Amino acid sequence: MKLSSVAALTAGLPSAAAWGGFGHITVAYIASNFVSSETATFFQGLLHNNTEDYLAGIATWADSVRYTKWGRFSANFHFIDAKDDPPRSCGIDLARDCKADGCVVTAIHNYTTRLLDASLPASERAIAAKFVVHFVGDTHQPLHNEDVARGGNGINVKWNGVDFNLHHVWDSSIAEKLVGGVRRQPYAEARRWADSLTAEINAGKFNASRLDWLQGVNLEDPTGTALAWATEGNAYVCTTVLPEGPEAIRGQELGSDYYEAAAPVVELQVAKAGYRLAAWLDLIAARIKSQQSVMGDL
C-alpha cells in the first residue's frame, strides 16, 4: 500500500498512523549500527536476511498489516491513549490508558516475551521481532502516547501552506524537512540520517547522554521499561507538541517557528529509539544464547 493511501485511510480512523516509514527505518538503521555482531547474526538468521538492511527492511511491516484482516488485532498496539490534560498536565496511567486488548506498552512486553519463548515456532518469533522493532519506534513519537484529538489526528494544521493533521506532521513532516526531503529514496535517506545520528551518539552532541538513555532498561521488566519510554515521549506533548494547548494550534502554520522547536525533539527521540532498540535486542539475543547453552548442558 502506498504511504498516501495509508494516510488517507487513517484520517478517518480512531487512532494514529505510525511514525512515518522514514522514522521507523532510521530507528532500525541506528539500532543495526549499535547491536553486537552476535545480535546481528541472531536476528539476520531469524529474519532470513543476512544483509545490513535486515532490521530496516522489516521496520514498517507492522504498519502494512494493521489494516489487513489478519493484522487487525494489532491496531491498538501502536500507541497508548494517555487521558491527561496537555499542556496543564501530562502523564500516563497504564490501567486507565491501555485499552482492553492492549497498547504499545503491553505489546512491547508481549512480543519481547514471545521472542524469548523457545517453545514458539521460528515464524512466530520472527513476527515478534518485527513487532518489537516497530513498537519501540512508535513509543518514542510523542503523539503515540496521547489521547487528545486521537493523538492529534483530529487537529488540522498547515505545513508550508498545505493542510495536514498534527499527527502526520509529527510522524513524517518534521523529520522529512530535517533531512531536506525523502521522496526519492527513503531507505538511502534514512541510512544517511541514521549514520549521522550514530556519529552524534558516538562522539557528538548525544555522547554525554547516551548512558542516561539506558537507565531503567531492564529485560526482567519489559512493561516498566516500555512505560518509562512512553511516559518520556508523552511529556513532550506538554512541552513541545501542544505547549499552548490543542486549540491554539488549530489551523496554524507549523512549517517555521513551530518546526524550529519541534525538530530537535524529533531528532533526539529518533536517536534515542535507535540506541535503546539496539540495547533491547542485545539483551534479548544474549538471553536466548544463555537459554541455548543451558539446553546444551542437559
Ligand X SMILES: *[C@@H]1O[C@H](CO)[C@@H](O)[C@H](O)[C@H]1NC(C)=O
- Which residues are known to be catalytic? 19, 24, 63, 66, 78, 134, 138, 144, 167, 171
Binding residues with ligand X: total (CB under 6 A): 14
What is 220-263 written as a DSSP string?
T-HHHHHHHHHHHHHHHIIIIISTT-SGGGTT-B-TTHHHHHHH
Three-state DSSP class for residue 52? coil
Q: Which three cell numbers stand for residue 102?
A: 492492549
CA separation for the pair 105, 226 (Å, rounded): 5
Residue with cell 493542510: 163
User: Using an 8 Å Cβ cutoff, are 201 and 48 in contact?
Assistant: no
Give the closest residue to 187 by CA, choosing from 282, 17, 58: 58
| Positions in 127-156 near ligand X (CB under 6 A) | none
Does 110 help bind ligand X (rule: CB under 6 A)? yes
| Positions in 57-86 near ligand X (CB under 6 A) | 57, 73
| Positions in 8-37 near ligand X (CB under 6 A) | none
Does 51 help bind ligand X (rule: CB under 6 A)? yes
Does 107 help bind ligand X (rule: CB under 6 A)? yes
The one segment of 4-12, 51-59, 273-281, 285-293 that binds ligand X by CB under 6 A = 51-59
- Residue closer to ligand X by CB (options 89, 123) is 123
Does 207 help bind ligand X (rule: CB under 6 A)? yes
- Crossing angle of helices 186-203 and 21-34, rounded to 10°: 50
In angstroms, what is the minimal distance from the CB of 282 to ligand X? 18
- Residue closer to ligand X by CB (options 200, 253) is 200
In angstroms, what is the minimal distance from the CB of 120 to ligand X? 9
Among positions 39, 106, 145, 225, the unique one binding ligand X when judged by CB under 6 A: 106
Does 203 help bind ligand X (rule: CB under 6 A)? yes
CA separation for the pair 105, 222 (Å, rounded): 8
Q: Which three cell numbers stand for residue 258?
A: 513551530
Helix (H) or strand (E) holding 62, with range, is helix 61-65
- Residue closer to ligand X by CB (options 51, 119) is 51
Residues forming contacts to ligand X in the complex (CB under 6 A) are 49, 51, 53-54, 57, 73, 102, 106-107, 110, 203, 207-208, 211
